[in-house]
Amino acid sequence: MSSAVASSPVDAPTDTDAGAAHWRLIGSFLAPHRRAMAGFSLLVVLAGTLPLAGPLLLGAIADGVTSDAAVGHLVLLAAGLGLVGILANGADLTVTWLGARLAWRAANELRVKVAAHALALGPAWHGRTTPGEVVDRVDGDATRVGELLARVVVRLAAAMVTLVGVVVLLFVQDWRLGAALGVVLVAGGWVLVRLRDLAVPSGVLARQRSGEVFGAAEERLRGAEELRALGGGRYAVEDLQRRSALTLAPWRRQEVYATAIWSASMLVVVGGGAVALLGGILLQRTGAMTIGQVLAAFTATQLTRRPLEQLAENIQQIQQAGAGASRLATLLAEAPLVAFSGDRELPGGALPVAFEGVRAGYPGMAEDALGVIDLHLEPGEHLGVVGASGGGKTTLTRLLHRALDPRAGAVSLGGVDLRDVSETSLRRRVAVVTQEVQLLSASIRDNLTLLGSVAATDDDLVAALDAVGLGNWFARLDQGLDAQLGDDAGTSAGEAQLLALARVLLRDPGLIVLDEPTARLDTASAMAVTRALDSLLAGRTAVVVAHRLATLEQVDRIAVVRHGRIVEEGPRVALLQDDTRFARLVAAELGATTARGDGR
């Protein structure tokens, strides 16, 4: 099969760069399976050759009929024809089976590779890509590429063998016949490939338009109540109708291309048949061919119909796979924001934090998201970060767990520049707790150890649950640690956050970064989380981002971040006593009337 791929006109150097890129991707992901493919190729050759026996038998029958051969002879030939049909289709089915196996192996490897790459791309990339889109890349596109192999390339290979066989068959009859058919097939193949390349963009546009319809419909249903309460229902319906109508033109264009490809493949078969018949008729008149041989030659050319039609029917899959492969190539070419190359270990115990002359920003943005930051935290010190949203709080925390590297200056923990630290050490020693708790619908054990990435005994796990105050909740579960979250064990938002804290506790980190851990909780749950945090943070350095200033009652220092700079920093108690921004913020939250006066 590898030879079929290599010699297929699709790989021709005239192909566009994008086209070449995705075929290179497919080639590279097949490379490890070379040996399996060699054995498989033999079978493909057999499956491609067997159907050729049909036309030969048919020709022999026609000759038998015209020369008044014995009935017994004809019966034997007719029975042979049926048998060949069964064998050929059996071989074809086996090719499908083995081809699918091979393709899925390769596609699965691709899938895991793409997933690994996507995980490493960092929060900025994930911020502008929805989980749904990532799943479509990792799963949808990898499957499309795999299906392309399993269904189309394998078929294409068998079809190629049949086509070559047909040309050889005609060549044996008369070299001019074979040569003429060869010309028709090569020209037809070229046209098919050009058409395919032309069709890809129209397919992308059509699918994108449809995607917008589905996206809009989903959004409207999600916001159905607000739409009704705001009188926007009519607008939403008219808008959906318009978006849906907008899909008509691109899909029509796409359909014209798809049918043109089908049409071209038919013309190839028609051309081949016409060549065989014309040559056959002329040669038969000179007595160089029998009527049976003409019929055999013609029928043989018709053998190309089924593979070509299948190819044409699958053209949409080819297009999707082509588009999918380009998207995957783009994704794999996307460089992660940070690359881990260091091998130093972070020291044990609570980690001191140092920002020295740090500026940071995101790729594609010339301006820094964070101005020059200098900040020092002693081991075990707790810092609260406050400020309006969009001011740079999150960017500041991202530097701490290396979701982002500084443009200038350095962030170091325990005296080690983060860029020199190994990924394993960083992940073990720095823990992050986010606003939205992210749980898997798996067992409690898998959620706590994150599928076994933390080595912990069951006793450790239960102890951690106790420590964060989930002891009673856990005691109610019949299946213990094996209880499936969601199915067996319901979790409120508060319990979910506590589970996240237990997760952190198990890893015994030296620095904890908390991003508004109680933002989405009601007062009672927020109190439970605050209690758990008290014990979790004891003896560890912590950076806490918060809107609700009540969360910050336990921190030692406060930094007010505004427009990418720390505009105020100091011990919490000291800041509260003076007329500082922080003091004003606290006052505003408490409802005092002195809150005014800090306009922009």
Partner 1 sequence: MSTTATHQTGERRATWRVIRHMMGVRKGAYWGGGALWWAFILAPLLVGVLLERLFDALGDGGPALMLLAAVTGLEVARALSLPLVGWMFEPFWGHTETVLRTNVLRSQLHPDPTRRGAPIMDAAAAMPLFRDDPEHVARATDYWLTLVAMSAIAVVAMAVIARIDPLVAVAIAVPLLLASASGYLIAPMVRRRRADDRAVTSEVTGFLGEAFGAVTTVTTAGAAPALLRHLAGLCDRRRVTAVRDRVAGQLLSAVGAAAGDVALGAGLLAAALVVGEDLTAGQVALLAAYAQMLAGVPRHWAGWLTVRRHADVSVERLRGAVAARDVAELIAPIGPVPLAPPPVQRHPLPPAPAAPRLQLVGLVTQTPDGQRIGPIDLDVPAGGFAVVTGRVGLGKTTVVRAVLGLAPLLEGEVRWDGEVVDPARWMTPPRASYVAQVPTLFSEALDDNLRLGWDIDEADVHAALDAAAARDLVAELEDGLDTRLGPRGVRLSGGQAHRVAAARALIAGSALVVADDLSAALDAETEATLLDRILGDRGRTMLVVSHRPSVIERADVVLDLDQ
Span 218-277, contacts to partner 1 by CB under 8 A:
218-242, 244-249, 251-252, 255-256, 258-260, 262-264, 266-267, 270, 273-274, 277
Q: Which stretch binds partner 1 (CB under 8 A): 38-46, 92-100, 167-175, 317-325?
A: 92-100
- DSSP notation for 175-205: HHHHHHHHHHHHHHHHHHHHHHHHHHHHHHH
Which residue from 9, 27, 32, 215 is in contact with partner 1, where contact means CB under 8 A?
Answer: 215
Asked whether the beta carbons of 517 and 533 are under 8 A apart, the reply is: yes
Q: At what angle do helices 315-333 and 71-120 cross, to 10 degrees?
A: 30
Exposure of 243 by Cβ count < 10 A (0-12 exposed, 13-18 middle, 19+ buried)?
A: middle
Is 7 near partner 1 (CB under 8 A)? no
DSSP 56: H
Q: How far apart are CA 541 and CA 412, in angstroms?
A: 13
CA angle 394, 395, 400 (to 5 degrees): 95
Q: Which of residues 442-471 bind partner 1 (CB under 8 A)?
A: 450-454
Is 198 near partner 1 (CB under 8 A)? no
Side-chain-side CA neighbours of 45 within 13 Å: the count stands at: 10
Strand partners, 512: 431, 542
Smallest gap from residue 461 Cβ to partner 1 (A): 15
Smallest gap from residue 367 Cβ to partner 1 (A): 12
Q: Which stretch binds partner 1 (CB under 8 A): 17-25, 212-220, 344-352, 556-564?
A: 212-220
Which residue from 507, 540, 562, 572 is in contact with partner 1, where contact means CB under 8 A?
Answer: 507
In 108-144, which positions are buried (b, 16+ CB within 10 angstroms) versus exposed (e)?
A: ebbbeebbebbebbbebbeeeeeeeebebbbeebbbb
* Site track 375-404 with partner 1 (rule: CB under 8 A), x = hit: -------------xxx----------x-x-
Is 359 near partner 1 (CB under 8 A)? no
* Site track 103-122 with partner 1 (rule: CB under 8 A), x = hit: -xx--x--xx--xx-xxx-x
Is 97 near partner 1 (CB under 8 A)? yes
Q: How far apart are CA 174 and CA 414, in angstroms?
A: 84
Q: Which stretch binds partner 1 (CB under 8 A): 21-29, 64-72, 322-330, 353-361?
A: 64-72
Smallest gap from residue 275 Cβ to partner 1 (A): 10
Is 554 near partner 1 (CB under 8 A)? no
Q: Which of residues 126-165 bind partner 1 (CB under 8 A)?
A: 126-135, 138-139, 150-151
Is 330 near partner 1 (CB under 8 A)? no
Nearer to partner 1, 115 or 463 (CB): 115
Q: How far apart are CA 110 and CA 102, in angstroms?
A: 13
- Other Cβ atoms less than 10 A from the Cβ of 277: the count is 16
Smallest gap from residue 19 Cβ to partner 1 (A): 23
Q: Which of residues 521-550 bind partner 1 (CB under 8 A)?
A: 522-524, 547
Position of tokens 């082509």? 322
Smallest gap from residue 567 Cβ to partner 1 (A): 15
Q: How far apart are CA 273 and CA 270, in angstroms?
A: 5
Q: How far apart are CA 537 and CA 517, in angstroms?
A: 13
Q: How many residues bind partner 1 (CB under 8 A)?
A: 161
Which residue from 48, 54, 352, 510 is in contact with partner 1, where contact means CB under 8 A?
Answer: 54
**Nearest-CA neighbor of 554 among 521, 589, 529, 522?**
529
Smallest gap from residue 329 Cβ to partner 1 (A): 20
Which residue from 33, 36, 80, 201 is in contact with partner 1, where contact means CB under 8 A?
Answer: 80
